[in-house]
Amino acid sequence: MDTIANMLSQIKNASLVKKESLELSHSKLLEAILRVIEKAGFVKKVSVFKEKDSVRKSLHIELAYNSENEPMLREARRVSKLGRRMYMPSKEIKRVNSKYGLIVMSTPKGIMTGEQARKEKLGGEVICEIK
């Protein structure tokens, strides 16, 4: 089961039906990806919480909308899949306009945007593409 693809489709679907927020089960990888997406402005706020009686943590995601009440995150696509991993050296990372898109990568220095990875001359696995 691909938890990253599930997370991306849940966020995309929730934003398309104009939901204010949603909750997902927590993992360190999902939290790191969401922090990068939050910093880029596609998601308003990400917080980790634990129910009083529960053992598991959860992620609370507040979705971002522009002034015309259209979702900031319109498309989210998983690039590197379980059956076919996609790795990219720093020189081949394509440029995406920061207002319209974002590439999320897993590098030796952690989860970061494609722009950050190119600046630090780091290659890695291309996790997803956000538009």
Residue with tokens 């590098």: 107
- The per-residue pLDDT string of the chain (131 residues; one tens digit each, 9 = 90 and over) reads 899 999 999 999 999 999 999 999 999 999 999 999 999 999 999 999 998 898 999 999 999 999 999 999 989 999 999 899 999 999 999 877 656 889 999 999 999 999 999 999 999 999 999 98
Closest CA to 7 of 27, 38, 106: 27
Return the axis-axis angle of helices 3-16 and 28-40, rounded to nearest 10°: 40
Tokens of 30: 């999902």
124/60 Cα distance (integer angstroms): 28
pTM, entire model: 0.93
| Amino acid symbol at 58 | S
Domains in the chain, ordered, with CATH?
Answer: 3-130 (3.30.1490.10)
Task: Pull the structure tokens for residue 127.
Answer: 């996790």
Helices of type H across the chain: 3-16, 28-40, 114-119
